[in-house]
Each structure stands twice: as C-alpha cells, then as structure tokens.
C-alpha cells in the first residue's frame, strides 16, 4: 500500500464525523476499504447510526488469533471557534495531520487496517488469524466492547493490541474507572423556617465528608500506585430563599487490581447505607460507568514480541509505561478467557480530546509497521 494511500485513508477517517453516537459511517468506510483489497468485514449493529465492525484474515481453523482493536467514536469537537484547524479537514501541515480523532484514535484504526491490507497484498501464508475489531461508544460507556464481549467475539483471542495513542510505546497496565452519582432527597421549606424542611445539600455534605476517608485502608498497587477518588460535580437548590429538597453530586474513582471496581462500588454503597441510618438522610447511589483495571506482565512473551516489532519499525527500543485512563480492555477483560491486552497506538496521549488534535505522519506509519511485524511474528508461517 503506497504511502499516499495510507495518509489518504487516515484523512478520510478524520473527515468522517464519528462523535460518540454516530459511528456507523466510519464502520462502513473501513468495511469498504477492506473490501477493495479482498478482505471481508462483518458490520454488527448496536443502535441507530451505531455499528461495530469485525474483519479477519488467515485460516479460519487456526487456534491463534491476534486482535487489533480500537474504537470508532471520538469525543465532540466542543466550540469550533477555538480550533485553528478545521476538526474534520484532516489538514496536513508539515509532518502532522490535524483533526478530531487524529490521535484518539483514528490513526490507530488506520494503522491497523493498513497492516492487515499489507499482509493481504503480500499474500503471506498465515498460520494464525489477524482480527480487526472496531467498537462504538468507548468514549462514553464502552458499550461496543461490552456488547462484543458478551456475544463471544473475543473469547478465542490469543493476544490483543488496543490502538489508543501511545506514540508507539507499550502500555502494559492501566487503572479502572468508576463514574457515579449520589442523589440526596430532602424536603423543601422557606429559608426563614429551615426547621420545617430537610436540607438536601447539607445531607449531601455528609457524603462528601465521609468520602474523603472512605478508601484510606486500600493498599497501594505496586504497578498502578494508589486508588484515586474525587467528588467532581455538585448541583443543588434552585432559589436562595428556599431550603433545597434535592441535591446531587458526581464523582470518579480510579480502581486498582488490589481494590477493583466492584469492591470500590461496594465501598461507596456501604458509606451510603451508614449515612442513611441518620433520620434526615435519604441518599441514593447510582453507578454510571464501571471499568476494571487491567495489568499485563511487562516481561511476558507478548510484550517481548511487541518490543521486537517496535525495534524493527522505529529503530529504537520502546518505552514501557502505565496510564490512569481506562480503555476497551476493561470490558474485554471480563471474558472468562484470559489473554494479554497491550495498549499501543500512534499519536500522543496528551493530544487526545484536545483542540487542534494532531498526529505525526511518521509516527502513524511506524506504528502501522509495528502492527504488521507483530502479525508476522505471531501469525505467519516460519
């Protein structure tokens, strides 16, 4: 596949608006691209305008499956007036391509598609299968990867690379993430007679104070560090001279394997149950999203294979690191079948979700070559 065609593919993906909830066009574009090179894709509808995609090359009876996985959605562009470069232009300036999703993670998607096409074009005999997985909704709930996991699409996977932006370095572990809401129900009254009401804001403060120390006993992970938790949003009241009958807050937790997402959610519920023993409190917990932490062996065989592939593609050794953001791996890990899941993609993690998001063309191309080298090592005849 010529360099110009590779760049054009990435530009086309960026030019297709796939903000969360509108992923179908990108799935169809990828399917059409694969079809041009004789690779069959399966579109798996999730909802209106939302479609997951699976494509595969290699012998269908092979027991080895290398998954190249990524999400089709992006975050919204926000205020377009803040952008110096059209977020849907795929504009090239110097050695960089600009646009929403250029880093997170349409460059990863394009690099995976290209790697599979180049294997197909070269007619390299394969002993294993290479499977492309594109999901909806990773940026807000990871429902695509959850749905595919539920229906067994990763149950036979031997190893997986997730193409989130890492500039080509290896992320072998990441924290989980819990988003939650606490609602406080009180009783309205005139502010001149607060004794006739029940202040929902004051009751919510009880939770805020308890939350500060609710995880003090949690052990620190030797890989991911401490569990991190914060109350980040609060709403309550509607008029200054009225006792508020309702208030709510939102918070986030970054769980670690030593105290995972399920345990963290249960700890929050325990705090709520204890506070509700006070007669004035009527607090309700809702878990909005819950993602488990993912940790792989940095000295494992699959990491060694990726390190060698990176060395071939980049001419340098990769960096091994961790991140504290969750990925689709937090859903794939729920499959009862255990397999390594490594995060490696083009672009800088710090550019994700940013105004004037960008990716270096050279980095994008080298990451694609890294994927191809991993596939050659794991799936090609020796």
Report all structural domains of the chain as residue ranges with CATH numbers, in order of start.
3-174+293-379 (3.40.630.10), 177-291 (3.30.70.360)
Please name the residue ranges forming H helices in 59-193.
Answer: 107-121, 143-150
Over the stretch 315-338, which tens digit does the pLDDT of each residue have?
999 999 999 888 999 999 999 999
d(CA 1, CA 233): 48
pLDDT digits 0-9 by tens, 119-174: 999 998 999 999 999 999 999 889 999 999 999 999 999 999 999 999 999 999 99
- Active-site residue set: 73, 138
Question: pLDDT by residue (tens digit) across 74-111?
Answer: 999 999 999 999 999 999 999 999 999 999 999 999 99
Distances (CA, A) of 365 to 5, 42, 172, 247, 316: 11, 26, 22, 50, 15
Q: Which residues of 329-366 are buried (b: 16+ CB within 10 A; e: fewer)?
A: bbbbbebeeebbbbbbbbbbbebbeeebbbbbbebbbb
Q: The whole model's pTM is what?
A: 0.92
């Amino acid at each position: 596949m010529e360099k110009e065609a590779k760049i054009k593919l990435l530009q086309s993906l960026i030019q297709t608006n796939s903000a969360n909830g509108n992923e179908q066009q990108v799935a169809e574009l990828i399917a059409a691209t694969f079809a041009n090179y004789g690779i069959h894709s399966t579109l798996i509808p999730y909802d209106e305008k939302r479609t997951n995609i699976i494509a595969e090359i290699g012998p269908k009876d092979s027991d080895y499956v290398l998954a190249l996985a990524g999400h089709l959605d992006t975050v919204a562009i926000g205020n377009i007036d803040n952008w110096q470069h059209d977020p849907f232009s795929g504009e090239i300036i110097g050695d960089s391509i600009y646009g929403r999703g250029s880093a997170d993670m349409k460059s990863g998607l394009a690099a995976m598609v290209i790697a599979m096409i180049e294997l197909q074009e070269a007619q390299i005999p394969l002993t294993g299968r290479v499977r492309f997985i594109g999901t909806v909704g990773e940026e807000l709930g990871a429902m695509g990867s959850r749905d595919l996991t539920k229906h067994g699409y990763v149950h036979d996977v031997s190893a997986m690379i997730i193409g989130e932006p890492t500039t080509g370095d290896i992320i072998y572990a990441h924290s989980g993430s819990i988003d939650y809401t606490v609602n406080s129900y009180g009783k309205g009254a005139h502010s001149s007679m607060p004794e006739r009401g029940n202040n929902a804001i004051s009751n919510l403060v009880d939770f805020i104070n308890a939350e500060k120390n609710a995880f003090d006993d949690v052990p620190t992970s030797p890989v991911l560090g401490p569990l991190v938790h914060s109350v980040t949003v609060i709403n309550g009241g509607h008029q200054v001279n009225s006792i508020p009958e309702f208030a709510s807050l939102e918070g986030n937790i970054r769980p670690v394997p030593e105290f995972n997402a399920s345990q963290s959610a249960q700890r929050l519920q325990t705090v709520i149950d204890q506070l509700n023993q006070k007669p004035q409190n009527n607090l309700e917990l809702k878990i909005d999203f819950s993602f488990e932490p993912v940790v792989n062996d940095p000295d494992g065989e699959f990491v060694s294979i990726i390190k060698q592939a990176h060395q071939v593609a980049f001419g340098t050794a990769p960096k091994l690191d961790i991140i504290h953001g969750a990925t689709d791996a937090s859903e794939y890990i729920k499959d009862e079948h255990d397999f390594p899941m490594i995060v490696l993609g083009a672009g800088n993690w710090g550019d994700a979700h940013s105004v004037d998001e960008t990716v270096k063309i050279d980095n994008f191309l080298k990451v694609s070559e890294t994927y191809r080298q991993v596939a050659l090592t794991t799936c090609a005849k020796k």
